[in-house]
Structure 1
Amino acid sequence: MYTAPPSLPNAFQSRQSTGALIARQAIVNSEGRVIGHELFNRSRNHAAHTAASDMMLALTALSHAGVDELLGDRLIFVNCTHESLVEGHLSLLNPDKVILEVPPLGHTAAEEVRTRLPTLQTLRQRGFRLAFSHTVLESAYAAWLPLADFIKLDLSVLPADQVTVLAKYAARQTRAQLIAEKIETAAQLELLSSLGVKLFQGYWLSRPQLVEARLLFPTAANVAHLMQLLRGQGSTQEIEALIKRDAVLSFNLLRLAVTSGVTPDEGFQSIEHVIRLLGNHRLSCWAGLLQNFRVTSETTPPAARNAVRYGRFMELIAKTQQLPPSVSDHAFLVGAISQLQELLDIPLDAIVDLLHMPQSVRDAVLQQTGYLGALLALAQASELGEIADLQQSASGLRVSQKQLNEARTQAEDWAEIA
């Protein structure tokens, strides 16, 4: 049986944050291995807890820089409202990763259980696993019980004799895994272990930790324009052009595709490729969430403009050399991604890992190898004004001075539109 020290350091510290403050508490098995975390949004007070904040919490945890440190390959348990369970935003989440915690209905249970049953059944059909509090074992919730993948036994409100009865009843009536939560003493841990419970959560095992997930805010104008294109059935090319002009939108789009589970084995080939994989419905849900939750800014950071300029410059040079379109698509990705380190404030190799890139793009960004690596060296020499290196790179790639000047001017104009 797993035992833990009676006192663990509390990670909640008072500090300023420019990102989303997410509290996580570990859920461990009987061997002490962390199998997942329950998340709590500390950026908003309890009164501001809404369907939109539920979805933004999950999406932030899964989509933004620092997610590997936050969750790794573990499950994420997200507290939901019943309103958020019917929102289209759930299509943005990968059901293999997310456990939806369904709240009880209180005094309205008898009337609402049947009404809300189809929603829960649909979520299960879509692959989501559901967690309920121990109230799901009450007769009023009989219709929900077969849908339970996890049932949480709250030791802060259940006396020992009632916990014993409920644990034994659950073992007979459901295949759900039991989680004993709010464990604060060794005696509680011992009791639940003896009852066959194998998953545990509480201060005795692990205090909540505060993790800051760095948020990148696209401009409000670009999000509004994106919504306009999606609602007006704008072409894929129009949507692609808008997103490519905003490095923040581009980064978040790539992360959204990863967290939605639409990751081809060969990696994302272009921004257009990602747009087609996600489809209009997911993109509309995403843009609507950005608008509704007001996670936008009024200006574009200089680092974001720099990333756009690099990407566009490399794309234009590749196009002048009559190479397959996939090469110029990859060139844009290499140029933009190579400049994200300043924007995200995390190592470049970690950024590449977040974005599920093709091997040629990874190699060019991290090692400057291959044609794309040579193109990146050209872009860097052009940006820094290193004449000797610029001439050498241009000569090696057979890029004329005229092509170089035109690409540089067009890239600067492109970045200014962002």
Structure 2
Amino acid sequence: MSLSTLTSAPPPTAQAALPGAMIARQAIVDQQGEVVGYELFCRSRAPASLGVANDVSLIFAAMSHASGDDPAVTKPIFVKCSHESMASGQLELVSSDKVVLEVEMLGHVASSEVLARLPILQALRNRGFQLAFGHKVLESAYAAWLPLADYIKLDLGVLRPEQLAVLVGYAQRHTKAQIIAEKVESAQHYHLLQDMGIRLFQGYWFARPALVEARLLAPAQASIIQLINLLRQQAHPEAIEAVLKKDAGLAFNLMRLINSAGLGMAREITSFRQAVLILGLKKMFRWAALLLTASKFGNLPSSVGQTAVVRGRLMELLALELLGEDEADQAFVVGVFSLLDVMLNIPMQATLNLVNVPDAVGAALLRNEGVLGELLELTRACEDCSPLLHDRSATLSRLSDPQINLAHLQALAWTDNLSTT
């Protein structure tokens, strides 16, 4: 890629957007009809291609997109979870107090298999996850798992009324688990279950699943692989930060994750270095591995990501001339995130609903306000070769033409160098 290619490239279009992952969310209610939780399902036709590769990434996508008042945050979410996912370590990215894991029941039950998987289930419960099981957990073969059950789900689609009565009675005598009747589709079902002492319900009679579209960016595979290698080598945070800065998709997804309600951070994280230090190498590795799985099925046109990186680096360099290091880091974020509306094909306001940013960053992206907004205008003027806007922005930002031109060349060269390493 040459400097002339970057400077003469046409502005990116909305065709750069990736499709969203469709997540279905169905309410679990109590006797009064009050929602006590939600179960998540993937409803994409090709889930992996849309960034939801497995049940752990379903949790990740849902929690990362949830705002503070979203039901997926204020109520527990139930997600079916395979034993492979539970053993992978990727659940370390999830705040355990917000998730109920619906444990996969084994196809051919053998006591040795049940016992072999017991330590992982115990470890997850010790971490604070609640566990839900299907009605088969009441069989004698699963006796070792039964004390771990916080919820037992009874499927009305496969159980006859006389079976239900037996299972409910056994569960009430031998466990402290709450029983959830699922696939409740009529008033007759509901009254029958009430008479049996069941107090939690899920099914079409109460609520059909509601679809939520989760927008995801696919970082370049090469960037993710480089990040994974650095994490495995326990590289210095500065080296990891450099990889994040060169890929807009990585930068966006990390900031969305670190500030998501699902991760449960006590304070807002506003810089990449902070994110690396707080998330830690182990969690970063798990997160990167999850992104690598999603990235195999699609990517943004390279010109969009390159333009975003040039903007970020140029704004960072210009901010260093005017402001401190903290503000320069925010300037980089403004530049990289300034094309997220194009990448996701949604308005910028909707984009910022996906990631928490400082007020100054949001004001710059939405309204070109503040010093960061002036720098963003100047950066766009450099791309468009607009002399009038360039002069106006330079005057507002108190930067000379030589300073701006040198910073622009440095940003182009820096991005060009990144693309070849």
| Interval of TM-score (by shorter of Structure 1 and Structure 2) | 0.7 to 0.9
Secondary structure at the counterpart of residue 105 of structure 2: coil
Q: Aligned partners of 2:284 and 2:404: how far apart in 1?
A: 35
Task: String of CA shifts for 1:72-111, please: whole Å, max 9, x gaps.
Answer: 6443322122222111111122213322111223542433
Secondary structure at the counterpart of residue 99 of structure 1: strand
Q: Aligned partners of 2:211 and 2:360: how far apart in 1?
A: 37
Task: String of CA shifts for 1:154-210, please: whole Å, max 9, x gaps.
Answer: 112222233233334433443322211011222111222333433222233333455
- Contact residue 183 and residue 200 of structure 1 kept, 8 A: yes
Q: What amino acid maps onto 1:369 in structure 2? A: E
For 1:257, the equivalent position in structure 2 comes to 258
- Contact residue 179 and residue 197 of structure 1 kept, 8 A: yes
- Contact residue 310 and residue 379 of structure 1 kept, 8 A: yes
Secondary structure at the counterpart of residue 25 of structure 1: strand
Judged with a 3 Å threshold, the aligned counterparts in structure 2 of structure 1 residues 135 and 281 are, in CA distance, closer, same or farther, namely same
- Contact residue 309 and residue 411 of structure 1 kept, 8 A: yes
Q: Structure 1 residue 269 and structure 2 residue 280: aligned?
A: no
> What TM-score, normalized by structure 2, do the two folds share?
0.84
Q: Aligned partners of 1:28 and 1:382: how far apart in 2?
A: 56
Task: Give the superposition deviation at 1:66.
Answer: 10
Question: Bigger relative contact order, structure 1 or 2, given CA contacts below 8 A and separation 6+?
Answer: 2
Q: Aligned partners of 2:397 and 2:295: how far apart in 1?
A: 45
Q: Aligned partners of 1:107 and 1:413: how far apart in 2?
A: 59
For 2:179, the equivalent position in structure 1 comes to 178
- Contact residue 30 and residue 200 of structure 2 kept, 8 A: yes
Judged with a 3 Å threshold, the aligned counterparts in structure 2 of structure 1 residues 211 and 67 are, in CA distance, closer, same or farther, namely farther
Q: Aligned partners of 1:156 and 1:84: how far apart in 2?
A: 26
Q: Aligned partners of 2:300 and 2:163: how far apart in 1?
A: 57
- Contact residue 304 and residue 343 of structure 2 kept, 8 A: yes
For 1:388, the equivalent position in structure 2 comes to 388
- Contact residue 75 and residue 98 of structure 1 kept, 8 A: yes
- Contact residue 79 and residue 100 of structure 1 kept, 8 A: yes
Judged with a 3 Å threshold, the aligned counterparts in structure 2 of structure 1 residues 154 and 298 are, in CA distance, closer, same or farther, namely closer
For 2:219, the equivalent position in structure 1 comes to 218
Q: Aligned partners of 1:65 and 1:402: how far apart in 2?
A: 44
Task: Give the superposition deviation at 1:360.
Answer: 2.8
Judged with a 3 Å threshold, the aligned counterparts in structure 2 of structure 1 residues 30 and 413 are, in CA distance, closer, same or farther, namely farther
Task: Give the superposition deviation at 1:68.
Answer: 8.9
Judged with a 3 Å threshold, the aligned counterparts in structure 2 of structure 1 residues 351 and 89 are, in CA distance, closer, same or farther, namely same
For 2:15, the equivalent position in structure 1 comes to none
Alignment of structure 1 residues 8-407 onto 2, 5 Å: 18-43=19-44, 53-63=54-64, 71=72, 73-259=74-260, 261=263, 263-265=265-267, 267-292=268-293, 295=296, 297=298, 300-321=301-322, 323-407=323-407
Task: Give the superposition deviation at 1:134.
Answer: 1.8
Judged with a 3 Å threshold, the aligned counterparts in structure 2 of structure 1 residues 191 and 301 are, in CA distance, closer, same or farther, namely farther
- Contact residue 64 and residue 215 of structure 1 kept, 8 A: no
Secondary structure at the counterpart of residue 144 of structure 2: coil
More displaced stretch, 354-363 vs 336-345: 354-363
Judged with a 3 Å threshold, the aligned counterparts in structure 2 of structure 1 residues 297 and 409 are, in CA distance, closer, same or farther, namely farther
For 1:408, the equivalent position in structure 2 comes to 408
Secondary structure at the counterpart of residue 354 of structure 1: coil
Task: String of CA shifts for 1:297-324, please: whole Å, max 9, x gaps.
Answer: 4664433323222221111101123x32
Q: Aligned partners of 2:22 and 2:296: how far apart in 1?
A: 14
Q: Aligned partners of 1:45 and 1:337: how far apart in 2?
A: 27
Secondary structure at the counterpart of residue 132 of structure 2: strand
- Contact residue 263 and residue 356 of structure 1 kept, 8 A: no
For 2:7, the equivalent position in structure 1 comes to none
- Contact residue 76 and residue 100 of structure 2 kept, 8 A: yes
Judged with a 3 Å threshold, the aligned counterparts in structure 2 of structure 1 residues 195 and 328 are, in CA distance, closer, same or farther, namely same
Q: What amino acid maps onto 1:342 in structure 2? A: V
CA RMSD of aligned residues (A): 3.0
Residue identity over aligned pairs, in percent, reads 47
Q: Aligned partners of 1:199 and 1:309: how far apart in 2?
A: 53
- Contact residue 66 and residue 72 of structure 2 kept, 8 A: no
Task: Give the superposition deviation at 1:256.
Answer: 2.4
Q: Which runs of 5+ in 1 are unaligned?
A: 1-16
Task: String of CA shifts for 1:6-42, please: whole Å, max 9, x gaps.
Answer: xxxxxxxxxxx93434344332333334443323334
Secondary structure at the counterpart of residue 355 of structure 1: coil
- Contact residue 231 and residue 281 of structure 2 kept, 8 A: yes
Task: String of CA shifts for 1:118-172, please: whole Å, max 9, x gaps.
Answer: 1111101112111111222333333322322221011122222332333344334
Q: Aligned partners of 2:414 and 2:108: how far apart in 1?
A: 58
